[in-house]
Amino acid sequence: MCSISEKRIHLPKWEELPDIGLYMDQVMLLMDRSFSDKLPKGEMTKSMINNYVKAGLLPRPAGKKYDREHLAILLMIYVLKQALNMESIGAMLEILCRTDVHTGYDSFRSHLEELEGIVARGTVVMDWTKDSREEMTLRLSIMAALCTIRTYWLLSGESQTK
């Protein structure tokens, strides 16, 4: 058993994401195993993924297969959707993936890990003079999602990692 302050959202490293194309059912299984029991907005559905493609948040799959870039984007969406609407998620993905998805995902994952510790300790302090507007937007977006997730854990009475 661990306390709520010890619980963490873990995103796999880029290299840990499957490097082969996955069909929709396999993507659903991966997302479900990663998050559905840990996040307030629950599981990701096939129709949600299709809507992300239609909205331009996610590139169309090649031959009905989703690659590592698709998975990284979906993982970022999964976390961000806890606190942001689709339009805001799209804006965050544009900022994150400006160079490429790999770089954006690594940056997102790094910020998530750093901010997890800060939010878990309840010591959220913002230095508005230190970071660029984009950096502050990213940090606040991730913190908002983490605070929403932790609130859910507290309200649901969870006291151990699943």
More confident residue, 8 or 152: 152
Q: Average pLDDT for residues 20-28, to the nearest whole number? A: 93
Q: Where are the domains of the chain?
A: 4-155
Burial 97-109 (b: 16+ CB within 10 A, else e): beeebeebbebbb
Backbone angles phi, psi at 80, to 5 degrees: -65, -30
Using a pLDDT cut of 70, give the percent of the chain over it: 84
Helical spans, DSSP H, in the chain: 24-34, 46-54, 68-80, 86-96, 101-121, 133-155
> Per the structure block, which two tokens stand in for 20?
């082969």
Give CA separation, 117 vs 30, 74, 93, 137, in Å.
25, 23, 23, 18
Percent of the chain exceeding pLDDT 90 equals 51
CA distance 71 to 94: 16
Residue pLDDT, tens place only, 144-157: 998 888 888 888 87
pLDDT digit string, tens, across residues 27-79: 988 888 776 566 766 678 899 999 999 999 999 999 999 999 999 999 999 99
pLDDT(111) > 80: yes
The answer for residues whose C-beta is within 8 angstroms of residue 145's C-beta and 6 or more apart is 79, 80, 81, 82, 83, 84
- Average the pLDDT over 12-26 and give the result: 93
Angle at 71 between CA 105 and CA 19, to 5 degrees: 95
pLDDT at 132: 87
